[in-house]
Structure 1
Amino acid sequence: MIPVTVQQGTSPIILGQPHCGTYLPDDIFGQLNENGRQLLDTDWHVDQLYDGVFKPASIVRANFHRYVIDANRDPSGQSLYPGQNTTGLVPIIDFENKPIWRVDPTHEQIEKRRAQFHAAYHDALAKEVDRVKAIHGIAVVYDCHSIRSALPFLFDGVLPDLNIGTNNGTTCSAALERAVDQICAASEQFSSVLNGRFKGGWTTRHYGNPKSGVHAIQMEIAQSCYLSSEAPPFEFDPTKATRLRAILEKILRQIDEIARHTVLEETAND
């Protein structure tokens, strides 16, 4: 199994997809308990949801499951949300605070996974950022995520449908943040929040550096928006997805337009 799939596009936008993969090597799958083997915390069908929504965008997708190692966590293991419940670089529990392993991974196993999977994903993403920026003078990492809409261990109540994360405005330009927020807020079908419970994971915070011409935005979507049920077998609902894809297309087209316009403005001011 190739750890990462890269599809190169012509836009300044790169769609990062770190959590929709379901591959686990046999030895790692064998260490999981029955709960872990359900892979409940997958970003189910996110690749299908975004497929063809904005064809000029590049895609960098992790094919391995987040229980192998979480590609959206700090490789040092440091928590992204100090003081809040979360899961780690190699999760020991799931999003319901239930154990997922029969045998917990050892330090040596985690280090091996970090090199084989986590580093592979970010090497591919970093190369795509460099390629896109060399062409356009700017790159926008749009990190694609989804999660079950009710998880009391992680957050109170029901999650808004569309959760925009820019680490409180630090990972992208104000124009990009404002555009995405306004499109979501104007929707009559979907609720939204800017920098609520999910402010952007390690990918968003690591790559987002507007002064260098690299912008990053995380979009965390409640799975109730496009799945038939938020329980196994987590079936994709084409009717729901069609409605959601319309707003995602609008967001990505607007990001693309702003990103290209930013380059023109910078060139004009030189």
Structure 2
Amino acid sequence: MPKPAYGHVIRGDSPILLATPHTGTALPDALLAQPAWRPIGGRLSDPSGVALLAAARERDVTSVAAQVHPCVIDLNVALDNRPLSQRLNRTGLCRTHTSRGEALYAPGSEPSEAEVEQRVDRYWRPFHAALTDELLRLRGLHGNVLLFVSHASSWLSPYRSDTGAPDCNAGTHQGASCDRRLVAALTEAVQGKGRSWVVNGKLADAFAARRYGMPDNGIHVIEVEVAGRWRGELDLQAHASDTGANTADAGDMHAILDALGTALGRLPPADARFDARLVADDPAV
């Protein structure tokens, strides 16, 4: 069976599902042929996501990972997140500029609505279909499951150079996407490793938490972004290795996954009458 264009799924039986929408580095040939895109090919935006993927494999944690670079299409942006002007789009579904303002397309050649829809059909919808399938599978095994989403926080973010930023930014849709005990487990694990953290700062309203978080139905979502000193350490480890951040020390990530798994196991089972249609609806909002 051919590998999906969006990336890949590795299945486990833990109640945690890791999603890494920003770990992709691949570019379509048509973009790679354009001079503005050549420096971007192979550039890793989310080394913390790669470190989490490594830890997930050792913890029987299911993962859904992107292969395509997030500047091609951001898999954690809602389909209706279209900018007022495509020529000023640094943060939407299909960026036309890097966060530094560097143009990715020649004037007048920005992606048309038809091309954006082609990318949505090729990458975005299959990625979210895979997330939905795995959430439903794991929810059938466990009374509570956690979708843990890793973000890029350096090259894609206007705060990429802010070394004084908190090491860990967590988002829970202002507390609506998960049980607070899971947030406590995350922040305690981060603090235990000497990291700083903030909850519901710039990640307060990220897409996956809004779309998938249904704690009353046993589906919890936390979005996390590594920044500050921690991001810098992961970048250094990635640059020091011929194989990138795959060789980064995953000790901190193991501690986080272990703490979240323990906290999930302590939650009372959610309503057994869980309606799968709540998750299976088209996540286009």
Same fold (TM over 0.5): yes
Q: What does 1:21-40 align with in structure 2 at a 5 Å threshold? A: 21-31=24-34, 33-34=36-37, 37=40
Give the number of equivalent residue pairs: 258
Gaps of 5+ in 2: 84-88, 273-285
Mean Cα displacement is larger for which, 15-24 or 35-44? 35-44
Residues 153 and 145 of structure 1, relative CA distance in 2, 3 Å threshold: closer
Mean Cα displacement is larger for which, 173-182 or 29-38? 29-38
Q: Is the 8 A contact 2:23 2:49 kept in 1?
A: yes
SS at match of 1:140: strand
2:140 pairs with 1:129: no
2:22 pairs with 1:19: yes
Alignment partner, residue 113 of structure 1 = 119
Q: What is the percent sequence identity of the aligned residues?
A: 26
2:8 pairs with 1:5: yes
Alignment deviations for residues 131-159 of structure 1 (CA, whole Å, 9 cap, x no partner): 00011122210012232289656796632
Alignment deviations for residues 97-135 of structure 1 (CA, whole Å, 9 cap, x no partner): 222223311110001111111001000000000000011
2:102 pairs with 1:98: yes
Alignment partner, residue 64 of structure 1 = 68
Alignment deviations for residues 132-189 of structure 1 (CA, whole Å, 9 cap, x no partner): 001112221001223228965679663221111112211110111121122223432x
Aligned equivalents of 1:39, 1:197: Cα separation in 2: 27
Query: Could you list the runs of 4 or more consecutive aligned residues of structure 1 that deviate by over 3 angstroms after TM superposition?
Result: 34-41, 149-158, 229-239, 263-267
Q: What does 1:91-240 align with in structure 2 at a 5 Å threshold? A: 91-102=95-106, 103-148=109-154, 152=158, 158-188=164-194, 190-199=195-204, 201-222=206-227, 223-228=231-236, 236=244
> Displacement, 1:237?
6.5
SS at match of 2:226: strand
Mean Cα displacement is larger for which, 151-160 or 86-95? 151-160
Q: Is the 8 A contact 1:170 1:208 kept in 2?
A: yes
Mean Cα displacement is larger for which, 141-150 or 207-216? 141-150
> Displacement, 1:2?
2.3
TM-score, normalising length: structure 1 = 0.82
TM-score, normalising length: structure 2 = 0.78
Counterpart pick for 1:51 among 50, 54, 62: 54
> Displacement, 1:216?
0.5
Aligned equivalents of 1:260, 1:7: Cα separation in 2: 22
Gaps of 5+ in 1: 80-84
Q: Is the 8 A contact 1:180 1:251 kept in 2?
A: yes
> Displacement, 1:51?
0.6
Residues 120 and 27 of structure 1, relative CA distance in 2, 3 Å threshold: same
SS at match of 1:37: coil
Over aligned residues, Cα RMSD in angstroms? 3.2
Letter in 2 for 1:2: P
SS at match of 2:236: coil
Residues 123 and 237 of structure 1, relative CA distance in 2, 3 Å threshold: closer
Letter in 1 for 2:104: I
Alignment partner, residue 276 of structure 2 = none
Aligned equivalents of 2:156, 2:21: Cα separation in 1: 21
Aligned equivalents of 2:21, 2:144: Cα separation in 1: 22
2:252 pairs with 1:247: yes
